[in-house]
């Protein structure tokens, strides 16, 4: 499978300690940049995951940097569930004045029209592209439900085949890229497995560590702290080359699953009715905070790579991935609502 992505660069890592309710305000007193006058009083930043999830981490880090530069106050609005569709509905009902953004997985615009028979929104009509935000590698992890002698993906498949009652894999939602990766690895003759969707990565992690599910695929950064503590084992990463954040872990390609090489990416969107000028202004704000360096360094600590694009570049990427993935998803019979 051909995938399109930016390179993943190395860097030190540490555990991110993040807390917050469904909506949290990032204080300008803590994060304001005195060298630039704020352009808006308030920015509402909707994200598709719960507190501690990848979209939440990204929203909060970008929100910190945008406070005092793009707006005096940034409000993080967590709208998890339904693989991002709840967050999209919140964006659709927001004013299209450029002061409400959505931080979401790219699949929401590129893959979901193929994955879902009844999507509930039209990406071309309801989402205006702003910029790519970040990219990352996925990790295939197993918890205490899987014996310690299962040390690779092929061994995992053999174990799942011989233990059908325990053959399940969790993801942060049906139709998400982790779910798609699981389907591409585990949908094979003689293996009957069950997909267990959760409303985001954190509750899926709780289930894995508690032994309620055997396998979990998440962005690598969400697995590293538990990996270091010995509470889970990461059997593979999804990049075409080994990740610099966990170089001892072999890729899926190395283990014979070359068609499963992929990277997760997230992007910013405005309501579909927003103007081109608003999209360009928001994209320029993203470019400015990414260029500073602090944001990029902090995301590397979570095994993520900060990114930027123009609205036109993001729209082109979405269309390219839609065309590349649609026939593969259809031929494999992968559905988000099945």
pTM of structure: 0.82
Alpha-carbon distances of 128 from 132, 168, 276, rounded to whole Å: 12, 36, 8
Range with the poorest average pLDDT among 7-21, 56-70, 92-106, 132-146: 7-21
> pLDDT per residue over 162-200, tens digit each?
999 999 999 998 888 999 999 999 998 889 999 999 988
Contacts (Cβ under 8 Å, ≥6 apart) of 93: none
> pLDDT per residue over 51-78, tens digit each?
989 999 999 999 999 999 999 999 999 9
Q: Which residues pair with 267 in a beta bridge?
A: 104, 132
> pLDDT per residue over 124-144, tens digit each?
999 999 999 999 999 999 999
Q: Which residues pair with 285 in a beta bridge?
A: none
The larger pLDDT score, comparing residue 215 to residue 84, is at 215
As a whole number of angstroms, the distance between CA 86 and CA 120 comes to 10
Residue 114 is given by DSSP the state H
pLDDT at 330 over 90: no
Most confident of 8-12, 244-248, 334-338: 244-248
C-alpha torsion angle, residues 257, 258, 264, 265 (rounded to 10): -170
Helices (H), ranges, the chain: 28-31, 54-66, 85-92, 107-110, 112-115, 123-126, 153-162, 177-186, 201-209, 224-228, 276-292, 294-300, 311-332
For residues 197-205, average pLDDT? 92
What is the pLDDT, as a whole number, of residue 26? 53
For residues 112-120, average pLDDT? 89
Most confident of 16-25, 171-180, 225-234: 225-234
């Amino acid at each position: 499978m051909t995938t399109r992505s930016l390179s993943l660069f190395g860097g030190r890592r540490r555990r991110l300690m993040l807390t917050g309710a469904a909506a949290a305000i990032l204080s300008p007193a803590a994060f304001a940049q005195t060298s630039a006058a704020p352009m808006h009083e308030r920015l509402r930043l909707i994200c598709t995951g719960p507190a501690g999830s990848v979209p939440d981490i990204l929203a909060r880090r970008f929100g910190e940097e945008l406070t005092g530069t793009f707006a005096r106050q940034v409000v993080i609005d967590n709208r998890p569930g339904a693989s991002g569709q709840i967050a999209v509905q919140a964006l659709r009902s927001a004013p299209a004045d450029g002061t409400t953004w959505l931080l979401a997985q790219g699949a929401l615009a590129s893959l979901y029209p193929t994955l879902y028979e009844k999507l509930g929104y039209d990406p071309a009509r309801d989402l205006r592209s702003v910029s790519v935000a970040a990219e990352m590698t996925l990790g295939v992890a197993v918890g205490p439900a899987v014996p310690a002698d299962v040390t690779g993906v092929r061994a995992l498949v053999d174990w799942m085949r011989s233990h059908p009652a325990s053959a399940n894999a969790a993801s942060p939602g049906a139709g998400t890229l982790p779910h798609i990766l699981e389907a591409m690895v585990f949908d094979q003759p003689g293996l009957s497995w069950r997909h267990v969707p959760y409303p985001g990565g954190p509750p899926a992690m709780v289930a894995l560590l508690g032994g309620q599910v055997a396998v979990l695929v998440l962005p690598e950064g969400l697995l590293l702290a538990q990996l270091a503590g010995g509470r889970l084992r990461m059997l593979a990463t999804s990049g075409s080359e080994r990740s610099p954040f966990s170089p001892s872990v072999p890729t899926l390609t190395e283990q014979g699953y070359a068609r499963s090489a992929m990277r997760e990416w997230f992007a910013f969107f405005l309501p579909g009715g927003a103007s081109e000028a608003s999209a360009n202004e928001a994209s320029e704000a993203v470019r400015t905070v990414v260029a500073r360096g602090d944001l990029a360094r902090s995301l590397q600590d979570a095994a993520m790579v900060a990114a930027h694009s123009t609205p036109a570049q993001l729209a082109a990427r979405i269309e390219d991935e839609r065309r590349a993935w649609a026939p593969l998803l259809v031929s494999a019979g992968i559905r988000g609502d099945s």
